[in-house]
Amino acid sequence: MRRAGCRCSDPDVRDAVLDLLLGGSCVACGRPGRAWCAGCRPPPGPARPAWPTPIPPGLVPPWTAADYDGAVRAALLAHKERRVAGLAPTLATLLAAAVQAAAPPPVLLVPIPSRPGVVRARGHDPLLTVVRAAARALPGATVAPLLRSRGGVRDQAGLTAAERSANLAGSLWCPTGRLRRWVGAPARVIVCDDVLTTGATAREAQRALSASGLVVEGIATVAATRRRWPAGRSGQEWTHVEGGLSSRPPVD
Ligand SMILES: [Zn+2]
């Protein structure tokens, strides 16, 4: 956004000026200025397939635009947990790239819902914000929050992929009234999430939508983890709970 009176052209100087005005800093490197400085923002690029290991049986192709690491991880957590302003547009750009890789328009973007009460407690729905911003940037994209969470899901921290799948089975559903206008519509259905880890949540969303008569074409996420620990739970550097990421240490 252009600000009256600021004629700075150097991004570092401009960020420093913005910090003086707004008191902000980069969530990744701490540099004064924008919430996500130009040096830490991932460059726009093509999305990549993000198949988890092991692959949940029947999972449609998952696509992502970034690794869940470093600056992207910091930005997703800051956006979700601290509602840091200014992060959503870049996160939406990443998600939009994944959607474009998943299917051509028209597309119907279905976000993974948070657990009941989580949005109220946080005061915002970070994923829905990012999905809506991505849809505004994509011709032929419509957002349809069709899924609801039943609640009663255990914390996913420390669970194996198989345990996560069992934990999430039946946890999502589609209210009938929300479906009527979309069943049989030409739009390709894309499940959207912030991070893909084991794929268990995405697979459960796919199951719930398929059970309601919708054909899911793909999964699109802002980021995805790269598997970096052997089978089992040791070495896990992050956790993923239903309805959102957690920076808590793994629980064995
Ligand atoms: Zn930075």
Which residues on adjacent β-strands are paired with residue 173? 148
Please check whether residues 32 and 78 belong to one and the same domain: no
How far is residue 136 CA from its own chain's centroid? 16
Please check whether residues 120 and 192 belong to one and the same domain: yes
Distance from Cα 4 to the centre of ligand 1, integer Å? 24
Residues 6 or more apart whose CB falls under 8 angstroms from that of 1 comprise: none
Question: Looking at the domain assignment, is residue 61 inside a domain?
Answer: yes
Distance from Cα 32 to the centre of ligand 1, integer Å? 8
- Number of structural domains (the chain) is 2
Please check whether residues 67 and 6 belong to one and the same domain: no
pLDDT-derived band at 232, boundaries 50, 70, 90: very low
Please check whether residues 48 and 153 belong to one and the same domain: yes
The CATH number of whichever domain residue 192 belongs to comes to 3.40.50
Distance from Cα 38 to the centre of ligand 1, integer Å? 7
Check residue 17 and give its pLDDT.
Answer: 56
Question: Looking at the domain assignment, is residue 186 inside a domain?
Answer: yes
Check residue 145 and give its pLDDT.
Answer: 94
Distance from Cα 200 to the centre of ligand 1, integer Å? 32
Distance from Cα 36 to the centre of ligand 1, integer Å? 6
pLDDT tens figures, 186-217: 899 999 999 999 999 999 999 999 999 899 99
Give 205's DSSP letter: H
185 with 108: CB under 8 angstroms? yes
Distance from Cα 71 to the centre of ligand 1, integer Å? 8
pTM of the predicted protein model: 0.80
Distance CA 12, CA 2 (A): 16
Question: Looking at the domain assignment, is residue 233 inside a domain?
Answer: yes
Distance from Cα 69 to the centre of ligand 1, integer Å? 14
Question: Looking at the domain assignment, is residue 236 inside a domain?
Answer: yes
Please check whether residues 143 and 162 belong to one and the same domain: yes
Distance from Cα 75 to the centre of ligand 1, integer Å? 10
pLDDT tens figures, 14-33: 545 555 566 688 999 999 88
Please check whether residues 189 and 241 belong to one and the same domain: yes
Check residue 169 and give its pLDDT.
Answer: 79
Check residue 250 and give its pLDDT.
Answer: 29
Q: Could you give the angle at the alpha carbon of 174 between the alpha carbons of 246 and 219, nearest 5°?
A: 55
Please check whether residues 72 and 21 belong to one and the same domain: no
Question: Looking at the domain assignment, is residue 51 inside a domain?
Answer: yes
Distance CA 84, CA 35 (A): 7
Distance from Cα 118 to the centre of ligand 1, integer Å? 29
Distance from Cα 35 to the centre of ligand 1, integer Å? 8
Question: Looking at the domain assignment, is residue 252 inside a domain?
Answer: no
Domain housing 8 = 1-40
State what percent of residues in the chain have pLDDT above 90: 52
DSSP H/E element including 62: strand 62-64
Check residue 207 and give its pLDDT.
Answer: 95
Q: Which residue has the higher pLDDT, 247 or 67?
A: 67
pLDDT tens figures, 33-90: 889 999 999 887 899 999 999 999 999 999 999 999 999 999 999 999 988 878 999 9
Please check whether residues 27 and 147 belong to one and the same domain: no
Distance from Cα 31 to the centre of ligand 1, integer Å? 6
Distance from Cα 229 to the centre of ligand 1, integer Å? 28
**Coil, strand or helix at 149:** strand
- C-alpha closest to that of 114 among 105, 127, 103, 123: 127
Distance from Cα 22 to the centre of ligand 1, integer Å? 16
Check residue 39 and give its pLDDT.
Answer: 92
197 with 56: CB under 8 angstroms? no
Please check whether residues 25 and 109 belong to one and the same domain: no
> What's the whole-number mean pLDDT along residues 227-249?
39
- C-alpha closest to that of 48 among 96, 98, 93: 98
Question: Looking at the domain assignment, is residue 156 inside a domain?
Answer: yes
Please check whether residues 68 and 142 belong to one and the same domain: yes
Distance from Cα 206 to the centre of ligand 1, integer Å? 35
pLDDT-derived band at 165, boundaries 50, 70, 90: confident
Please check whether residues 9 and 78 belong to one and the same domain: no
Distance from Cα 178 to the centre of ligand 1, integer Å? 41
Please check whether residues 85 and 18 belong to one and the same domain: no
Give 61's DSSP letter: P
Question: Looking at the domain assignment, is residue 251 inside a domain?
Answer: no
